[in-house]
Structure 1
Amino acid sequence: MSQSLSSFADLLRAVEHTAVHLELRDTYDMGNETAGFDAWKQGHRLDPSDRASWWRPWLDLVQEVTAKGVLIRRARVISEPPSEYIRYEHSFTFTNVAAGEEVRWLPRGSASDIVLPDHDFWLFDGRLVQFNIFDDAGRWIRTDQTEDSTAATRCATAFEDVWERAIPHEKYSI
Structure 2
Amino acid sequence: MSSIPEFAELLADTNQSAVHLEMRDAYYSNPRFEAWQNGERIDWDDRPFWWRPFHQDIADAVARGVSVRRARVVSEPVTDYIRWEHYQTRANVEAGEQVRWLPRHRAWDLLLPGADLWIFDGRLMRVHHFSGAGEWISKELCDDPAVVDRHAAAFEQVWERAVPHDQYEVK
Q: Do both share a fold (TM > 0.5)?
A: yes
Distance 1:113 1:100 in 2: 30
CA contact (8 A) 1:79 1:109 kept: yes
Equivalent in the alignment of 1:67: 63
Percent identity (aligned): 49
TM-score, normalized by length of structure 1?
Answer: 0.92
Q: Give me the whole-angstrom Cα distance separating, in 2, the residues matched to 1:87 and 1:121.
A: 21
Unaligned stretches of 5+ residues in structure 1: none
What are the within-5 Å matches in structure 2 for residues 87-166 of structure 1? Answer: 87-166=83-162
Gaps of 5+ in 2: none
Return 68-77 or 135-144, whichever deviates more.
135-144
Distance, in Å, in 1 between the alignment partners of 2:102 and 2:157 is 10
The CA distance in 2 between the partners of 1:132 and 1:51, in whole Å, is 28
Deviates more, 1:136-145 or 1:70-79: 136-145
Tell whether 2:17 aligns with 1:18: yes
Structure-2 separation of matches of 1:42 and 1:7: 31
What RMSD over aligned residues (CA atoms) do the two structures have, in Å? 1.3
Q: Distance in 1 between matches of 2:137 and 2:34?
A: 24
Kept in 2, the 8 Å contact 1:45–1:91? The answer is no
2:69 is paired with a residue of what secondary structure?
strand
> Which residue of the other structure, out of 76, 79, 86, is the alignment partner of 2:82?
86
The Cα shift of 1:39 comes to: 1.5
Q: Deviations over 1:90-136 (max 9, x none)?
A: 11000000000000000000000111011000000001011101111
Q: Secondary structure at the match of 1:26?
A: coil
